[in-house]
Amino acid sequence: EPKEEDAGLWWEGVAPEDEIGVGEYCLHFSPLLDHDANTWDTRLVATATLCLHRKAPPAGDHGTGNAKAGRRIRLHAIGVVVEECSLKVVSAEEKTIPIETVLYNDDVEQLCFVLGDDLPEATPAQLFIKYHTRIYKDDEHRGVYVVQFADRPATASTEQSLSTLGDEGNDESNSEERMVPGLATHFEPVDARRAFPCIDLPAHKSSFLITVTAPSAYDVISNMPVMSQEEDKASEEAVPLKTVRFERTPRMSSYLVCWIVGKFDFIESDIILPYNTDGEKKDTPLVVRVYTPVGEQEKGRYAMEMADMSLKYYSQNFECGYPLPKLDIIAIQNLDALAMENWGAMVFLQDFTLVSSETPLSRKQRISRLVFHEVMHQWIGNLVSVKLWKYLWVKEGFARYLEYFLVTGFFPQWHYWDHFVAEIQTDAMKRDEAKWTHPVEVEIANPRDIVHVFDMISYGKGASVLRMIASYIGPTVMWKGLRMFINKHKHGAVSTEDLWAALTAAADGAVDINALADSWIKASGHPILAVRQVPSDEASTVTYQITQHPSSELLLFPLSHSCTDQLSVPLFIRTAPGVVARVQGSSKWINADEPAQSTYSTQLISGTDTTLTFEFKDAGAPKQWWAILNANRSGFYRIYYSSEILESITQGIRQGQVAPEDVLSILIDAFSTETASHPDLQVSTHAFLDLLEAVSQMPIDNQASFAESSTLYVWTQVAKILNYWVHSLLADDVSVLDASTSAAFAAYVSKLYAPLMDVLTLVPTDEREPDTVTTLRGSVLSQLAVCNAPSSQQQQPQQPQQPQPQQRQRQQQQQEDTARRHKWVAAQAPLVAKYFAAQQSQ
C-alpha cells in the first residue's frame, strides 16, 4: 500500500480519459445461476483485457501536472473488486510492468492501478483484470440486473407441443406459465462502470469483444452476431453451461454495450438498405430481429415493420448506411425507460413492443414513435455520439423531433404534429416556465446528476427548437445539414456548435444558425410575444406591434435564472384566407395563386419591440382580417393577442377559416396568458369565453374518424381548460360564484360540450378505442357531473409518489399552482358573473 500521505496524489491532475486511451475491451462475464433456488448469485465474476496506451500530456503541461501520472492507470468503476491483474507492454520484449496495488475512490467513481514502473507514452499495452462486481436486484435496473422471463414446462412430445399452438404461435395449452430469472444490462448514462472498469464517457470510443458464459437453456444476445458457441462440458456446475462469443463491435461508447441472458422467441426479416456506411449508394443487407416472450413472436411483427420502414428511410435520407450486420429489438419486462438504443441490440419495455389485434390505436402510435426514436439513435447517438453529456439534447432532441417527423410522414391520417404540439411542446413549455427549469444545454459537475437532465427540457424543448429551426430553413436544408453532420462526424463525437455549423453550411450561409438558435439552447425560458394592432401610416395597411416578454412573467414567483436576453424569433405568419397579403419589405405574398407561394410566410424578428406592417395586393385593408403569427405552432414561444385581434380570429373560427392546428395553438396560449401574473398579458374573460364558444361550433368528425383527426386535440385542450375552470369555480372548497352565476356557467359548459358528446357517446363503442378518446370522455363527464351538482365536493385524484428529487420539484410546482389558482379565482369570479349577467340581459 502507498504511504497514507501519498495516497491522495494518485487522484490528482488531469482526468483519466486525458491520460489513458483504450482501443479495445475483451470482456468475459460468468454469472452463476442457482437452479434450485431459481435465482442468480449477486456476485458477477468477470475478466477484462484492455488494449490501451498512455497519452502524451495535454499541451502546455510538459509533464509537470503530476509526477505520478506515468505510474498510474485510472479507470471508472463502481463496486468493482479486483482479484488479479497484470500489465504487459506489447513490444518485441513483451515487458511486464508490475502492479503494486489497486486503489479505490468512490467519490470520483474510479479505481487506480499503481504501477511499479512508468508506462511508456504511445506504447500499446494490455491490462488484464480478473474481478467481481454486483448483480442488481429489487427494481434497481442499472448495470447488470435481474429481469424475469416467461418460461413453459416441457411437453410430452414435439407433436403435442405443436398441436397446442394457435394461429399466432401462442401456447393455448393448459400448462401454467412460470417465470425464470434472466439478466439484462442498462448502462446509460454512466453505469457501464458498474459492470467493468472502463473510460465511461460518450466521446471515448472503443471496440468490444464480448463473451458470456451462461446456462445452456438460456438465450444470450449482445450487440453483435454470435461468433462461436461452445457447451462447457468440463463445468462442475449443476446447471449445464455454454460459452457464447460475439463478433467485435465497431468503435462505440461504453454506455451502448449490451448483453442479455433470457428466454425468447423471435421473428426476423432481411432488408436491403440503399447506402453503406462509407456513404456509397450501394445495396447493403441487414438482418432485423424482434425478440419476444416465448410463444408471442407474432406480436412483434408490428415493431419489426416499423423498424424496417425507419431503417430504410434514415439510410436513404442520411445517405449513410447502418454499420452493424444486425439490429435487434429485445422485449423485456423490467426497464426504467421505455427503451434503450444499445447499438445493434435495442431493449424495449415489453408492453411497448407487442401488438395484437386487440391493441388500441394509441398504443400502436406510441410503439411507432418509440421504434422511430431508437432507430434514429443508431445514427445520431451511436454512430455520431455527443462529446459530453451536456450535449445530450443533440441526440435526444433530434430523436424526439424525427420520431414525429416519420410518424407524420408514414401515417398522415393521424395528424401527429398536433399530438406533438398538445403533448410534447406544451409540457416542455410548462416545465420551461417552472422555477426549477434549466437550459437545454446544461453544465453537469457530478456524474450522478446526469440522469436528471433526461427530462422534458432536453427532449421536448430540444425537439421543439429543432422543429422551429427546420420550419424556418425548410426541410430540404435541414436534411442536407443532417447528411453533412452525420457523414463528417461518423465514428466521432460532436457538440452543439458542430450541429449549428452543419446546418449553416447546408443553408449556404444564408442563415447563421448559431446566431439564431444558440441562445434558445443556452438560456432558460422562452419568449412571450404580446401582439397589438396599432394605427397604420396608410389606410390600406394593417400594423401589428410586437413586444417580447420573458416567460417568467407568466409566474407568480420571479426566477433568478430566467432568460432576460431578447431572442431572435422566427415568426410563421398565416393570414385570413382569400386575401393576398405580405409583410412590407418581404417579396413573398401569402395566399397568392402562384404555385411557388404558400399559405404562410416566415419573418425573423429580434429586440424588445418590433412593428410588422401588412400590405394587400388587390385592395386596401379588409374590415374583417387577422394574422396568426405562429402558424402550425412551429415556434417555441407563446403569443398574447390583444382583445381586438383575438375577436377577429374568433370570428374566423366561427366562419371555419382557421385551421384546427392553429385553433389548438391559440387555445394553448390564450389559457396560459389568461392565467398570467403580468397584467399586460392577460386575455379578457369575455374574449376567452367567446373563444371557447366559437371553438365548440367547429365541425366534428364521426366517432370512427374522430380519434384520427386534428379536432381530437382541439377538444382535448378545451377539456383541459374547462376542467381548470369548472373545478376552480364550482367546487365546494372555493365556492366563489353566487347561485345565479353558477347556474349560468354550468349551463354554458353543458351547452359547449353538447356537440362533442353527440360524437363521443356516454360509453365506448369500440374495445380498441384510443386512450386519448377514453381520457377525454372521462374528463368531460366528470365536469358535466360537477355542473349538474355544483355543490358536491370534488375529490382531486391523488398524484402517485414521485422519486427524489422529482418529488420535491413536483410538490413545489403544486404549491405554486395552488397559489396561482387562488389568485386567478379571486380575479375571475366577478368577471365571470359580469359576463353571464351581460349574456342574460341580451
Residues 6+ apart with CB under 8 A from 684: 643, 831
Q: Answer yes or no: are the C-beta atoms of 636 and 526 closer than 8 Å.
A: yes
94 carries an active-site annotation: no
Residue 649: its H or E element:
helix 643-654
Diameter of the chain measured on Cα atoms? 102
> Half-sphere exposure of residue 530, counting CA atoms within 13 Å on the CB side?
19
Tell which residue, 717, 784, 722, 809, has the closest CA to residue 418. 717
Give the Cβ contact number of residue 600 at 10 Å.
22
Helix residue ranges, H only, 378-448: 392-410, 416-419, 426-432
CA distances (Å), 546 to each of 206, 403, 539, 612, 641, in order?
Answer: 52, 33, 20, 8, 10
Grid cell in block for residue 134: 454486483
Residues 6+ apart with CB under 8 A from 788: 746, 750
> Half-sphere exposure of residue 250, counting CA atoms within 13 Å on the CB side?
18
Tell which residue, 519, 515, 520, 529, has the closest CA to residue 637. 529
At position 627, the amino acid (one-letter code) is: A
> Half-sphere exposure of residue 820, counting CA atoms within 13 Å on the CB side?
21
Pairing outcome for strands 345-349 and 326-332: parallel
Grid cell in block for residue 671: 389559457
Q: Three-state SS for 446?
A: coil
Q: Answer yes or no: are the C-beta atoms of 512 and 473 closer than 8 Å.
A: no
Q: Answer yes or no: are the C-beta atoms of 650 and 670 closer than 8 Å.
A: no
Report d(CA 312, CA 272) in Å as an integer.
Answer: 8
Tell which residue, 54, 78, 73, has the closest CA to residue 11. 73
Grid cell in block for residue 139: 427494481
Give the Cβ contact number of residue 457 at 10 Å.
22
Pairing outcome for strands 259-262 and 265-275: unpaired
User: How far is CA 119 from its chain centroid?
Assistant: 43
Beta bridge partners of 530: 547, 640
Phi, psi at 43, each rounded to 5°: -100, 120
Sign of torsion, CA 512 514 517 523? negative
Report d(CA 588, CA 67) in Å as an integer.
Answer: 66
Tell which residue, 193, 215, 190, 211, has the closest CA to residue 202. 190
Single out the catalytic residue among 188, 374, 553, 647. Answer: 374
Tell which residue, 145, 185, 181, 143, has the closest CA to residue 345. 185
* DSSP secondary structure letter of residue 830: H
Report d(CA 206, CA 493) in Å as an integer.
Answer: 13
* DSSP secondary structure letter of residue 591: T
DSSP string, 725-757: HHHHHSSGGG--S-HHHHHHHHHHHHHHHHHHH
Query: Is 688 buried (19+), middle (13-18) or exposed (0-12) by CB count in 10 A?
Result: buried
List the end-to-end C-alpha distance of the chain, in Å, as a whole number: 92
Q: Three-state SS for 528?
A: strand
Helices 301-318 + 475-489 axis angle, to 10: 90
Block residue for cell numbers 367567446? 690
Active site residues: 374
